[in-house]
């Protein structure tokens, strides 16, 4: 089962991908999570990426293409993968096609999670994240103990790029650079639209109905 979870920032890709990865026992590959881990560890990649991430800009394509090529070559991807946050530009999508051809793991579907801009701003401004990769929402999906992760118990924090002005910039970048991929994947016959406005559970069942076809 080889899928891309597609959609604007805040659509619920990470939330869904984590549950889907458990349900189908395939890896959840979030380029945002990988980059943030590099920022925390202070690697060369992290230092380079941070300049873009804090401003809500995209990290350059060549960096992301190398990163995703390495990650998809790891052994845990043999039974499939869920991509979250990649591809975000046409050059990234072109590169992905080449990489997937080489490893003989072509995409089954690109699941496009649709959510209105107004709802996205609410979701992103209320998001609280944990370094372990979990994320919550202060109103829609609060942790059991306020301020602490249900899974690892560590402190939750608000991402730099979840501040109001950066959110607007990220949505503008999405509309300009990433949204054109909907046409790109529609032309390839891969897009499946999902209504992302409902509860986490209802979005999850919609996506499972799609993914079950590729088991």
- Among the listed ranges 38-46, 90-98, 123-131, 144-152, the one in contact with ligand ADP (CB under 6 A) is 123-131
Residue 140 contact, options ligand AMP, ligand ADP, none, Cβ 5-8 Å cut-off depending on partner type? ligand ADP
HEC assignment per residue over the chain: CEEEEECCCCCCHHHHHHHHHHHHCCCEEEHHHHHHHHHHHCCHHHHHHHHHHCCCCCCCHHHHHHHHHHHHCCHHHCCCEEEECCCCCHHHHHHHHHHHHHCCCCCCEEEEEECCHHHHHHHHHCEEECCCCCEEECCCECCCCCCECCCCCCECECCHHHCHHHHHHHHHHHHHHHCHHHHHHHHCCCEEEEECCCCHHHHHHHHHHHHHHHC
Q: Which is nearer to ligand ADP, 200 or 210 (CB)?
A: 200
Choosing from 25, 43, 199, 205, the residue that interacts with ligand ADP (CB under 6 A) is 199
Catalytic residue among 18, 36, 50, 88: 88
Active-site residue 97, yes or no? Answer: no
Active-site residue 159, yes or no? Answer: yes
CB of 148 to ligand AMP, least distance (A): 21
Active-site residue 13, yes or no? Answer: yes
CB of 33 to ligand AMP, least distance (A): 7
Choosing from 50, 88, 137, 170, the residue that interacts with ligand ADP (CB under 6 A) is 137
Choosing from 5, 29, 170, 211, the residue that interacts with ligand AMP (CB under 6 A) is 170
Binding site for ligand ADP (CB under 6 A): 7, 9-15, 123, 126-127, 135-137, 140-141, 199-200, 203
């Amino acid at each position: 089962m080889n899928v891309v979870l597609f959609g604007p920032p805040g659509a619920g890709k990470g939330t869904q991908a984590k549950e889907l990865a458990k349900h189908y026992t395939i890896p959840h590959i979030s380029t945002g999570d990988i980059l943030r881990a590099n920022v925390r560890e202070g690697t060369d990649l992290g230092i380079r990426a941070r300049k873009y991430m804090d401003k809500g800009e995209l990290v350059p394509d060549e960096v992301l293409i190398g990163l995703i090529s390495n990650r998809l070559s790891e052994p845990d991807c043999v039974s499939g993968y869920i991509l979250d946050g990649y591809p975000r530009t046409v050059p990234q999508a072109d590169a992905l096609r080449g990489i997937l051809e080489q490893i003989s793991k072509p995409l089954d579907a690109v699941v496009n999670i649709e959510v209105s801009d107004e709802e996205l701003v609410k979701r992103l401004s209320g998001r609280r994240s944990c370094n372990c990769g979990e994320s919550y929402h202060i109103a829609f999906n609060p942790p059991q103990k306020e301020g602490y992760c249900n899974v690892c118990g560590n402190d939750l924090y608000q991402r730099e790029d979840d501040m109001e002005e950066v959110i607007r910039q990220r949505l503008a970048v999405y509309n300009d650079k990433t949204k054109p991929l909907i046409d790109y994947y529609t032309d390839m016959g891969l897009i499946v639209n999902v209504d992302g406005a409902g509860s986490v559970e209802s979005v999850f069942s919609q996506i499972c109905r799609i993914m079950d076809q590729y088991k």
